[in-house]
Structure formats: C-alpha cells, structure tokens
Amino acid sequence: MKLMIVDDSAIIRSRIARILANPRLDFIRTIGMARNGMEAITLFMQQTPDLVTMDITMPEMNGVECTEKMIAFHPDCNILVISALSDKATALKALKKGARGFLYKPFTDEELVAAFLELTSS
C-alpha cells in the first residue's frame, strides 16, 4: 500500500517514517511527504496513495480542506488525521469530509502501528 505523510513539522514526518519500519507494517510503502496542503494535493494527484496521514494545522491549505479535496479525487483513500489539536470540532470536520480515523499527538510507536493496522483492516 502506498502511504503519503502530510505534516508541516519535519520532526513528526521523520518520526512517522521511522515507525513505518516496523515489520508489521511492511506492506506499507512511503511514497511521499508533504509540508502543506498545496504540496499534498499535487503529490496526491500524481501518486494516488492508498493511505494518508494528515496534519490539521498547516500553512497554505489546512488538513480539513485538503482531506475534502483528496476524497473528492479518490474516495477510497484511507486518511488518518494526526493532530495535537485541542478542539475536537475541527478534527470531527475532517472526519465528516471523509477521513477514516483520528490519532492524537503525541502518539506512541505502538499506537501508530495499531492505528495503521486498524485503518487497513477491511
């Protein structure tokens, strides 16, 4: 499965990428990273990933808008919103736009692995 990481923090991007080295997730391949919504959409159109981890607060275009555009383009895409957001309302908005799940920052390695497994279960 193709994964794209969307987050404006380099630390978090590399953290997610590192956790993906877990052997239980060896069916997932990171095909791209984006630092803002605009970049994410461009990359998404080119690669049509199956999985996306999506930050909410980003410059250019926020995660809610970005989720909406991705789902419109590729409705079967599994989007996992990962955010430190304190207001649940915004995260719920992203889910209403079609994201499949939500994970709070900070997360443990195990939490992210479990979330990926849940997300990719049928």
Partner 1 sequence: MNESQSIFSKYRKIILAVIIFVVCDLMVIGINFYGTFKAQEAAVSINLSGRQRMLSQRMTKVLLLIRRSVDTNDEPSVLRNLKELDLTVNLFNTTLRGFRDGAMVTGGDGNPVFLVQVETPKSHQLVADAYKIWDPYFNLLQPLLGNNRHFSAEQLESVVTYAQNNNLEVLRLMNDLTTDLEFVANGRADFLRMVLLAGFIIALINFSYTVFISIRQLMATDRELAQARGETIEILSTVHEGLFLLDKEKRLGSQFSESLPRLLHREIEPGMNFLPILKDMISAETYESAVDYIELLLGDRVKEALVTSLNPLTNVSVSLSDSIGNTQNRYLSFFFNRVLIDDKISHVLVTVQDVTDKIELMQQAEQAKNQAKTEVDTLLRLAGNDFGSLQQFVFNVGQSLGQINEKLSEPIDDPRSRQHTLNYIMRLVHGIKGEAAVLGIDAIEGYAHSCEQEMVAMREGNTELSGEHMVRIAVLLEGFYSRYSSLNNIVSNLSAAMGGQEKIAAAAQADRPAEVALPFVEHITHLAQRIASDRGKQVEVNCQVAKFAILPANITKELESISIQLVRNALTHGIESPEERATLNKPQTGALCLFCEYLGNNLYDFTVRDDGRGIVPDRLRDQLVKSGRMTVQEAATMDNLEVTRMIFQPGFSTASDSADINAGHGVGLDAVLEKVKGMNGRLSVKSRPDLFTEFHIQFSVPQ
Q: Is 59 in the site for partner 1 (CB under 8 A)?
A: yes
17 touching partner 1, by CB under 8 A = no
* CA-based nearest residue to 30, from 18, 46, 12: 18
- Closer CB to partner 1, residue 23 or residue 76? 76
Which residues, 60 to 89, sit near partner 1 by CB under 8 A? 80, 83-89
What three-state secondary structure class fits 51? Answer: strand
The residues near 77 (Cβ < 8 Å, ≥ 6 apart) are: 48, 49, 50, 51, 52, 70, 71
In this chain, which of 21, 24, 29, 42 binds partner 1, going by CB under 8 A? 42
Cβ proximity of 30 and 6 under 8 Å: no
CB of 62 to partner 1, least distance (A): 10
Note whether 101 binds partner 1 by CB under 8 A. yes
CA dihedral 18, 21, 24, 28 (to 10 degrees): 90
Under the binding rule (CB under 8 A), the answer on residue 96 touching partner 1 is yes
CA distance 38 to 106: 25
Q: Indicate which single residue of 2, 9, 25, 48 sits in contact with partner 1 (rule: CB under 8 A).
A: 9
Residues forming contacts to partner 1 in the complex (CB under 8 A) are 8-12, 14-15, 34-35, 39, 42-43, 46, 55, 57, 59, 80, 83-89, 91-93, 95-96, 98-106, 115, 118-119, 121
